[in-house]
Amino acid sequence: MDLSKSAHGMEWGWHQRYADNWRIGLRSHGGCLERIQDQSDITGEMLVKFGNNFNSGWIHPDNIPHRNWYFWDNPELPQLLNPNPANPAGNKDFVRFTRGSLFTETFNSESNSARLDRVLRDLSSGQTSLEELIRPVPVRVQNTRRVLLCPSSPNCFRYYYKDTITSWLSRWSHWASQNGYEPVVRRKPARPERVKNPRSRLYEHLLLEDYAFTISQHSVAAVESILAGVPAVTTGPHPIGPLYTPPEWAATGDFVTPESDLVWNWIGRLAYNTYHKSELFTGAWHQ
């Protein structure tokens, strides 16, 4: 099956369901969707936000009048995009498809990885499973004063939060210094480098280096931090549910260090909202 962007025909931004099937793609490509040009086009039908159209056609999710919408973006379990038996080339064949939110939350998920495990076993001829690919390390507080700031993209700050990456980094670097920590800023390597070189991935970096905690917002970095055993402080929306540490707690040295069963429970929720593109293209996601 063709899993490229040309297979579904969508451009970045919002699309609305106009057909009687559940195949994700434009109607011209056998799917159920058409792109909407303006907020006034929105009805009560299902919407799909395909990535981010950071341009003049931007519609903020807060302006959608209902929660009957899904967000298609990179998966919240980034290990699925690294080369593995179910994805040997490390292609972007797995996605998040979250209902009514940019992230997995308790209201749009349940802790159930059975479907994704079946997909992984089928794609790998039985060679892998979620438990093989996701190897969380016990969350602990290291004896160090270094903290890693993991900023989102400049456009994420601009369009979602009316903020800038420069302002966010300055604000939280100052906060870290005021609370006796040494802020270190992560410069995210380009995707081809992350596919090729495991040491360029955040999870591996956190295993190799010592940090007291990470700071992020609107980022899967929080997931990687928890999986690598490092407390995750978040300054805004995030994909780790109850596993995050509020900044005011971190300022007093109080960190959320969830036990293994809680981490795996949340992994199950992230898996619940993770799909192989073939499931979206065929409509199997809606079964």
Q: Does 91 share its domain with 121?
A: yes
Q: How does pLDDT run across 68-127, given as a tens digit for each residue?
A: 999 999 999 999 999 999 999 999 999 999 999 999 999 999 999 999 999 999 999 999
Q: Are 227 and 76 spatial neighbours (Cβ–Cβ below 8 Å)?
A: no
Tell me the pLDDT tens digit for each residue of 182-199. 999 999 888 889 988 888
167 shares a domain with 99: no
In a domain, 90, yes or no: yes
- Same domain assignment for residues 159 and 229: yes
**Is 263 domain-assigned?**
no
Is 232 found in the same domain as 203? yes
Both 10 and 130 in one domain: the answer is yes
What is the domain extent for residue 189?
Answer: 146-257
**Alpha-carbon gap, residue 45 to 18, rounded angstroms:** 8
In terms of domains, do 185 and 218 share one? yes
CATH number of the domain where residue 169 is located: 3.40.50
Q: What's the CA angle centered on 247, arms 165 and 222, to 5 degrees?
A: 65
Res 245 pLDDT > 90: yes
Domain count, the chain: 2
Indicate the pTM of the whole model.
0.96
- My answer on whether 102 and 155 are in the same domain is no
pLDDT of residue 198: 85
- Rounded distance between C-alpha atoms, residue 100 and residue 67, angstroms: 4
Quick check: 225 pLDDT over 90?
A: yes
Cα–Cα distance measured from residue 222 to residue 244, given in angstroms and rounded to the nearest whole number: 8
216 within domain boundaries: yes
Are residues 119 and 204 located together in one domain of the fold? no
Q: Which two tokens stand for residue 124?
A: 């790998």
How far, in Å, are 91, 146, 211, 217, 226 from residue 143 at the CA level? 37, 9, 8, 24, 17
Residues 24 and 127 in one domain: yes
Task: Tell me, yes or no, whether 141 lies in a domain.
Answer: no
Asked if residue 204 belongs to a domain, the reply is yes
